[in-house]
Amino acid sequence: MRYEIGIAGSGGQGVILMGVILAKAIATSQELFVAQTQRFDPAVRGGKAESSLVISDEEIDYQGILGFDLLLALSQEGCGRNIEKLKKEALLVMDSELVKEAIWGKILKIPFTKIARESFNDERVANMIALGVLTELCEYTPSSAVKASISSEFKGETLNLNLSAFQKGIEMAKGQKFNFETAEEEEGEI
């Protein structure tokens, strides 16, 4: 078994932190191997920011990406750069406010940033809502372990805010899990 998750966005969205939180959750709760890598530009905000995880039941030889099973796109550029690295049956989750164009078979569109703004009055927690969705979609990330991992990164009010956003994501994923748009529909439109 080898399962690969990608998170692609831009600097400032908390993309790398999401990868670290997931990796830590897997490393501490599962009898699985995990490797987390990151790609980023020297610019702190706005530049490329990507985080990826390899989850395996055997020792991981190549620590980088062979093909994503699950990709979260939080920017149009991030989506464009990584869509070709998706495996055939892979699932693409995207922030529908930030990613306008994506042609792929299994897509889940959620306006994470908009929800963060409207429900939490803070766009910064869009990553935690998305993390909740990823946690629910990926079978190797128990939500209790991800919660513990989030709790090791934040304190006080910030922790509460992030945990609430994470919970929101979990609930949203539960409702939408099998509600994928299909490639046929996309092709029909063209």
Per-residue mark of binding to another protein, 35-54 (x: CB under 8 A): xxxxxxxx------------
176 binding another protein? (CB under 8 A): no
Q: How many residues bind another protein, per CB under 8 A? A: 23
| Closest separation in Å from C-beta 146 to another protein | 13
| Closest separation in Å from C-beta 1 to another protein | 15
Which of 52, 29, 51, 24 has its CA nearest to residue 40?
51
Which of 20, 148, 159, 161 lies at the binding interface for another protein (CB under 8 A)?
20
CB nearer to another protein: pick between 62 and 178: 62
CB nearer to another protein: pick between 113 and 149: 149
Contact 109, 181 (CB under 8 A): yes
Q: Is 7 exposed, middle or buried (0-12, 13-18, 19+ CB in 10 A)?
A: buried
**Contact set for another protein, span 116-175 (CB under 8 A):** none
CB nearer to another protein: pick between 61 and 139: 61
| Closest separation in Å from C-beta 176 to another protein | 29
- Binding stretches for another protein (CB under 8 A): 20, 23-24, 26-28, 32-42, 60-64, 66
